[in-house]
Amino acid sequence: MRGSEADRERKAIGADLVIPLLALAFALYFFSSIWNLVWEAKANGVVIGTILLVLVGIQLGRSFWGVWQGRYRLGFDDLIEPSGALFRRIALVSLLVLFVATFHLVGTVAGLILGMGSMMFVLGQRDWRWLIGLPSIIALTIHLLFVVFLGARLPAGPIEQGIRLLIGG
């Protein structure tokens, strides 16, 4: 085993393999789902899936050969560095998931204000006027343009009901 400095000199290709491995897993699932269908329903998928498997095979083979030869290592540097940004990204994605899970309960406007304010906080904004002001403006603009004017149906919460009473709509 080489030292950590020598390790760093070798290119980390672990991150490069995420997309091919996802593609591989999906192609295998795809094949399992079409196995019993007649040829017309699966012809296109079989051709595309087979080519994809060959391409993924070449990429994986090339990468593992490089690792075997000592030119590459299986690190994920491209995805996890810089670590500060990684934390912010995970936090943003988590906030998006939280928004999707709760906006039916709290309403779109409140969900957007809370979600967007939290995202700004994660990205370093600490001034409460910004944290409340900008999200409120964006959320209300979305509400006015798309719900009040265009009539799109976004889940309503207490703020929407307040607006409705206010504008007498």
Task: Choose the stretch contacting other proteins; rule: CB under 8 A; options: 2-10, 28-36, 66-74.
Answer: 28-36
Is the CB of residue 92 less than 8 Å from the CB of residue 122? yes
Total residue length of the chain: 169
72 DSSP β-pair partners: 11
Is the CB of residue 75 less than 8 Å from the CB of residue 12? yes
Contact call for residue 5 and other proteins (CB under 8 A): no
Contact call for residue 129 and other proteins (CB under 8 A): no
Q: How far is the CB of 29 from other proteins (least distance, A)?
A: 6
Task: Choose the stretch contacting other proteins; rule: CB under 8 A; options: 1-9, 66-74, 89-97.
Answer: 89-97
Contact call for residue 106 and other proteins (CB under 8 A): no
Q: To which residue do tokens 């990205």 refer?
A: 123
Contact call for residue 15 and other proteins (CB under 8 A): yes
Q: Which is nearer to other proteins, 1 or 150 (CB)?
A: 150
Contact call for residue 51 and other proteins (CB under 8 A): yes
- Residue partners of 41: CB distance under 8 A and separation at least 6: 34
Tokens for 124, please give them: 């370093």
Q: Which is nearer to other proteins, 6 or 79 (CB)?
A: 79
Q: Which is nearer to other proteins, 6 or 47 (CB)?
A: 47
Q: Taking the alpha carbons of 86, 90, 95, 100 in that order, is the dihedral positive or negative?
A: positive
